[in-house]
A = this chain, B = another copy of it.
Amino acid sequence: MANRRTVFYLSDRTGITVETLGHSLLTQFDGIQWRKVSIPFLDSEDKAREAAEQINLMAQLDGYRPLVFSTLVNPVVREHIQRADCAIYDFFDNFIDSMEKELGQQSSHAIGRSHGLHDNASYTRRIAAINFAQANDDGISAKSFADADIILVGVSRSGKTPTCLYLAMQYGIYAANYPLTEEDMDDSKLPKILHPFRTKLFGLTITAEQLQRIRQERKPNSRYASFRQCQQELEWQQDLYRRENIPFINTTAISIEEIATTILNRSGLKRQLYGE
């Protein structure tokens, strides 16, 4: 039976940073089944006491003390957690002291800087990019393509929409997309509407097996979801990419984050947001 343990993510604010951090550390250890507990907005002594009790309880239940990843700033809250039965991996303890020395200045020890406050220009850019992705999804207007930083192309269900949204949300990129359809296949050339925007094109592809699985969930037992149909569309599409020199990426085994970052990196696009 798998080793069962509990991990806590504690934060004064959203907990998103500490969850990302913790998750990527946990993936370095195989064969453990993790029970994950997030406690965001942990900002009072009462909540700290409750969190400590929860930690102690899980230590008893599991027979192992929980791992606690934390970005807590408030010293009173921290103290309560430190007295609990757990192994603490604190983000601030590990880096802030050494950064203070390097930078020759004290840290502000302020809570919630990373996601709480935002400068207006970045915020506006981010919202505008999300709206753009939303408005120009499956876009077939040349107007939207003219304004786009990048245009993703690919057959239906190859991952265009989530990738566009992620490019907008994380990097503030104006991403439009164009679905390659059967009608385009008949023509066997690059669709005319895309001609003026060749340099902005980036292709997505996927294995026929995975595409079939996804389409099957959407329209069970349709021609659209048949293996043969998926295979034909993909073959045609990859020929097109090669013939037209469109860079492309296979999205089968990688996450939305990885697809988006790879595209950003390979296309040389400048990010408009920076871990804001």
Q: Which residues of A contact B (CB under 8 A)?
A: 5, 9, 13-17, 19-25, 27-32, 36, 38, 40-41, 67, 71, 87, 89, 91-92, 94-96, 98-99, 102-103, 105, 107-110, 112-118, 123-124, 126-127, 130-131, 134, 137, 161-162, 165-166, 169-170, 214, 217, 253-258, 261-262, 265, 271, 274-276
Contacts and interface: CB of A to CB of B under 8 A. Distances in A.
B115 A71 contact: no
Contact of A261 (B5, B14, B36): B14
B16 A17 contact: no
Contacts of A95: 25, 89, 94
Nearest to A127: B162
A257 B24 contact: no
A38 B118 CA distance: 20
A257 B127 contact: no
A134 B161 contact: yes
Contacts of A108: 28-30
A158 B24 CA distance: 34
A112 B92 CA distance: 24
B20 A21 contact: yes
Nearest to A21: B21
B114 A23 contact: yes
Contact of A123 (B67, B98, B255, B275): B255
Contacts of A261: 13-16, 40-41
A258 B24 contact: no
